Structure 1
Amino acid sequence: MITKLIVLSVYVAILFLIGILASRRVKSMSDYYLGGKKMGFWAVAFSARATGESGWLLIGLTGMGAIAGYSGYWVVAGEVLGVFLSWQFMAKKFKRRTDDYNSITIPDYLQSHFKSSTNTLRILSASVLVVFVIIYVASQMDVTGIAFESMLNIDYRIGALVGFSIVLLYIFVGGFVAAVWSDMFQGVLMFFGLVLIPIVVWFSMDHGAGVTEGLNAIDPTLTQIMGRSEDGWLNFFTILGFSMIGLGFLGSPQVYVRFMSIESEKEIDKGKWVALLFTLLTDAAAVTIGILARIYFTKEGQDPEAILGTGGEDVLSMITHEFLPTILVAIFIAIVLSAIMSTIDSLLILASSAVTRDFYQKIFRPDLKDKDLTKLSRLVTVAMAMAALGIAILLYNLYPDRQVFWIMIFGWSGIAATFCPVIILSLFWKGYSEQGAIVSMITGFVSVILFKFVFANLEGIGVYFQKLDVLAPSFALAMITGYIASKIYPPKPSHVK
């Protein structure tokens, strides 16, 4: 325990040092929220991927690999495709537009792009950001508590509070720059930790049988890449649900503010390959860790959740404690925290910008200069974090059997379904109007809730919606309704860009 605490203390000290160094660059609102738009490709690529992956990569996706088997690799395929499309076809366009508009936030971009004369779009987008960001951050804090409990034997509530305090302190001081620099540091830890551990486990295991033979001995359906059910349609919806998680990279604000912050379009070309390699190797490694854990820890006929935790959330803790020496287990605890905190910091800054700039300054106090809002930005960040922490503790008390993977995906999907269709259509279709954007956002927001809590519970067909999950259908409906609304209410010729 002493070794683990020492390593954790060193890790936290590095984060605080990053926060202090970053604070020297925070001289304005643009610095606090975008690093002055001077970030390099290494920092942005690692930050975008660390933010996009979060704690679900280490806790959720490893568990999903253990439960789903080979079909879990569809998540990898979907994520790699989503990252490629985002960096290859959207990042430069988005960077160019936001620079032209001098945008600091996503609502800034939308307001300028549609030449809106009202605050409807700004209010709507900022409101959705606050709601789903707090839910998403709460899920990350939930994982923080789980990580402390399973890997350090520290009470869940204490662990969640410690993680909350760590991340809040360094972003309170250094803002976006601290978030990006710390994300890069944490992303490097995540990369090497995830890529190396399957190799260590593989060479430490008994190789009397291969991976496929080992899975078949437990449950032959685990080796079926096209799904584990005898119902072909259920398998189809499962694969679709897994692979469509990558849609969230096509415009999610917490990722796209990184493109706003990068120094130039040339840096995007370089960052693309870093982001792709990171996604492919870390996601594949996470699923592989889960599969190896399933072989090593479970026997034929056993309930995997009884051995590996609900949704397989104990997989990573069990693997590290079984195969790694104490010092490396301690480092891996830091890696788990890295995955979680790299997302929490970005989301908190995103929600803070929505409240401070998009609500307070742009709507209620347009007379205020950006430099006068830095202090308020920090206070709002604290308030957002405290609200998320409260929700995390509530989830822990009310739903002890919750599945971490799907709670995270709900928060991720809510943000993605609301914003990604709007970002895509605004970049590639000149006929997209402000009314169409408003309809898209409302549709995406409402659809996520309906598919999660209504359609998934319908008798007979509900199980198909459960496997499909909420992102793909919500995303599609938001695109369709936005198109229809824009045809009915086309943009004025002077508003077309």
Structure 2
Amino acid sequence: MSENFWLVLAIVLYFGVMVAIGFYSWLQTKKYDDYVLADRGLHPMVAGLSAGASDMSGWLLMGLPGALFVSGMSELWIVVGLFIGTWANWKLVAPRLRAYTEVANDSITLPSFFENRTHDTSRVLRVAAAVIIIFFFTFYVSSGMVSGGRYYESTFGGDYLTGMLIVGSITVLYTFIGGFLAVSYTDVVQGALMFLALIIVPVMALFAVDDPGSLFSYATSNPYGPWPEGNPSYFNMVAGVSVATIIGNLAWGLGYFGQPHIVTRFMALRSPAEAKAGRRTGMIWVAICYLGGIFTALVSTVYFGTTQASVTDQTGFETIFLDLSRLLFHPLIAGIILTAVLAAIMSTMSSQLLITSTALIEDLYRIFNKTPSQTTLLVLSRTMVVVVAVVAMLMAFNPSDTILGLVGFAWAGFGAAFGPVVLAALYWRRLTAPGAITGMIVGAVTVFIWGTFYGDIIYELVPGFILATIAMVAVSLMTKPKPGVEAEFDRAVAVTDYAMAHPEATFEQSMKQAAKS
């Protein structure tokens, strides 16, 4: 049987499992809150894996190895920043956000939380947040579509557009059917696949090279990929890298505080105390996955430099993981491993599609129709999943940027627009609605302008985050919090503190005990 037969068989089986999980989740989804946030019943292990899987996208298996392969270890500053950011997000944001979103009128989306947290009655804050989500997530989903198309090109030698449409359609299908529960459960399967593949592929590639001992020296003085005479600075993290570049790459970690598709997992936990177990699971998963991505790039310099094999993508070299899998394993095994790339792509896309459709319905439509039926909300949310996916596909038809470039722009947008507001909402009693609105708009506009015209100076997230914070604080100090805001802040903090000190307590018990104190 041909190689393509086995590859297709493995991927069809994978697609079948994803759709089956979607249908199972559909049976568990009885009302709108189930579809959007799984009725706040997410197990911490599921939350940890789901947050990691939805975070990494195709960047982990394609963008990161490609960047390290081309530029060397100077690209590791991004990994350092992201690793620290992951830990800080789970530690600082997860427990309080879980408690506060329920205390603040049971908010089920980030825009509704901002509105309820500041008692904003103008609707401007909620609408602005929803528009920012829709704008930047369209670029983010588009990066997933691009990854899907390139995956199909490398794996089957097929047409980019065909691959993009297949991967996009399957992702839309199970998200459309099962909502948040389907997205979270499929993330667990997808996260496990990514984890295993990032261990197996670089290890087997190491066994396949003639001189494994040259792993930490080969790239510096031997031809490979884009370097006809080697890259003497490959292992030097600071050689040829400006201070601005290092700061910009480390700043990727700041972006975590404002990513709606990640912090939504915190909101869905069963209690604030379970953030600790979720953090432990998520940090172990992400640490091993990063190491796998790094060693994939490292061993690829030797493998593709000493064999006749070539990398499919000769521009960004973002297909080295795909190419290694196809070259090193029996087609069936390769197909199973290659589903890890699909898993990374689809897990992120599904989360982003769901968050964007929710912003359209929960944070825009319900402003004008405050009493829609549960059936209407479910139908509209599912419809918006399809609409957003179609727009993202149209944008990805002729990609003009790398996967990392598309992800970087959207990541900066959310990090600058929402990151300062999330932190202030959870840790500063004096935050006001005008301050939050100003901070979000300044952050988003700065990222757009800076990324368009000055992105070669420093990563746009840095000026965006700084200017958004200054604007938010300045305007909040010039205005006053609405009546009841500060008392509600104190109540949310008390609930979080009690829940963390008494992990055996349910959230309802924590609410009651905090009310007594």
Q: TM-score by structure 2 length?
A: 0.88
- Pairing partner for 1:224 from 222, 226, 236: 236
Match of 1:356 in 2: 361
Shift of 1:208: 6.2
Match of 1:23 in 2: 26
- Percent of aligned pairs sharing the same letter: 29
Match of 1:409 in 2: 408
- Pairing partner for 1:485 from 454, 463, 475: 475
Go from structure 1 to structure 2 and tell me whether the alpha carbon gap of 1:208 and 1:128 turns closer, same or farther (over 3 Å shift). closer
- Rounded to whole Å, the distance in 1 between the matches of 2:332 and 2:376 is 46
Match of 1:124 in 2: 128
For residue 29 of structure 2, what is the amino acid of its counterpart? V
Shift of 1:209: 4.2
- Rounded to whole Å, the distance in 2 between the matches of 1:30 and 1:381 is 16
Match of 1:177 in 2: 181
Aligned length: 472
Match of 2:492 in 1: none
Confirm whether residue 254 of structure 1 aligns to residue 266 of structure 2: no
Greater displacement, 191-200 / 129-138: 191-200
For residue 443 of structure 2, what is the amino acid of its counterpart? G
1:162-217 C-alpha deviation (Å, 9 max, x unpaired) = 01110111111111100000011101000111122222222222226432321221
**Contact residue 65 and residue 288 of structure 1 kept, 8 A:** no
Shift of 1:146: 0.5
Shift of 1:293: 1.2
**Contact residue 44 and residue 258 of structure 1 kept, 8 A:** yes
1:338-391 C-alpha deviation (Å, 9 max, x unpaired) = 000001111111011111111111x11012244531111111111111111111
- Rounded to whole Å, the distance in 1 between the matches of 2:48 and 2:131 is 28
Match of 1:368 in 2: 372
Match of 1:302 in 2: none
Go from structure 1 to structure 2 and tell me whether the alpha carbon gap of 1:255 and 1:373 turns closer, same or farther (over 3 Å shift). same
1:55-103 C-alpha deviation (Å, 9 max, x unpaired) = 1111100101102212222222111111111111210000000111211
Runs of at least 5 residues in structure 1 that lack an aligned partner in the other structure: 300-304, 457-462
**Contact residue 72 and residue 287 of structure 1 kept, 8 A:** no
- Rounded to whole Å, the distance in 2 between the matches of 1:51 and 1:65 is 22
**Contact residue 27 and residue 371 of structure 1 kept, 8 A:** no
- Rounded to whole Å, the distance in 1 between the matches of 2:313 and 2:213 is 21
Go from structure 1 to structure 2 and tell me whether the alpha carbon gap of 1:479 and 1:9 turns closer, same or farther (over 3 Å shift). same
For residue 237 of structure 1, what is the amino acid of its counterpart? A
- Rounded to whole Å, the distance in 2 between the matches of 1:205 and 1:266 is 47
For residue 316 of structure 1, what is the amino acid of its counterpart? F
- Rounded to whole Å, the distance in 2 between the matches of 1:199 and 1:252 is 33
Q: TM-score by structure 1 length?
A: 0.92
SS of residue matched to 1:474? helix
- Pairing partner for 2:90 from 87, 91, 101: 87
Confirm whether residue 140 of structure 1 aligns to residue 147 of structure 2: no
Shift of 1:295: 2.9
- Rounded to whole Å, the distance in 2 between the matches of 1:489 and 1:366 is 29
SS of residue matched to 2:29? coil
Computed over aligned residues only, the root mean square deviation of the Cα atoms, in angstroms, reads 1.7
1:420-449 C-alpha deviation (Å, 9 max, x unpaired) = 111011111112211111111011111111
**Contact residue 66 and residue 293 of structure 1 kept, 8 A:** yes
- Rounded to whole Å, the distance in 1 between the matches of 2:7 and 2:414 is 35
Shift of 1:473: 2.2
Matches within 5 A, 1:68-79: 68-79=71-82
**Contact residue 96 and residue 272 of structure 2 kept, 8 A:** no
- Rounded to whole Å, the distance in 1 between the matches of 2:463 and 2:302 is 34
Match of 2:282 in 1: 275
1:433-483 C-alpha deviation (Å, 9 max, x unpaired) = 111111110111111111111123xxxxxx4x2xx3222221122112111
**Contact residue 312 and residue 323 of structure 2 kept, 8 A:** no
1:389-437 C-alpha deviation (Å, 9 max, x unpaired) = 1111142xxx3xx322111211222122211111011111112211111
Confirm whether residue 159 of structure 1 aligns to residue 140 of structure 2: no
- Pairing partner for 1:54 from 57, 60, 66: 57
Shift of 1:15: 0.5
**Contact residue 64 and residue 72 of structure 1 kept, 8 A:** yes
For residue 240 of structure 1, what is the amino acid of its counterpart? I
Match of 1:243 in 2: 250
Shift of 1:307: 7.7
1:310-340 C-alpha deviation (Å, 9 max, x unpaired) = 2221211222223223222211221111000
**Contact residue 119 and residue 482 of structure 2 kept, 8 A:** no
**Contact residue 298 and residue 307 of structure 1 kept, 8 A:** no
Confirm whether residue 4 of structure 1 aligns to residue 7 of structure 2: yes
- Pairing partner for 1:105 from 105, 109, 113: 109
Shift of 1:220: 1.2
Match of 1:439 in 2: 438
For residue 359 of structure 1, what is the amino acid of its counterpart? L
**Contact residue 95 and residue 259 of structure 1 kept, 8 A:** yes
Runs of at least 5 residues in structure 2 that lack an aligned partner in the other structure: 222-229, 490-517
Match of 2:515 in 1: none
1:98-142 C-alpha deviation (Å, 9 max, x unpaired) = 111211111111111000111000110001111111111011101
SS of residue matched to 1:331? helix
**Contact residue 326 and residue 334 of structure 2 kept, 8 A:** yes
Confirm whether residue 190 of structure 1 aligns to residue 191 of structure 2: no
**Contact residue 310 and residue 403 of structure 1 kept, 8 A:** no
- Rounded to whole Å, the distance in 2 between the matches of 1:379 and 1:306 is 39
Confirm whether residue 323 of structure 1 aligns to residue 328 of structure 2: yes
Match of 1:460 in 2: none
Match of 2:225 in 1: none
**Contact residue 18 and residue 186 of structure 2 kept, 8 A:** yes
- Pairing partner for 1:470 from 455, 460, 476: 460
Matches within 5 A, 1:410-429: 410-429=409-428
**Contact residue 361 and residue 377 of structure 2 kept, 8 A:** yes
For residue 206 of structure 1, what is the amino acid of its counterpart? D
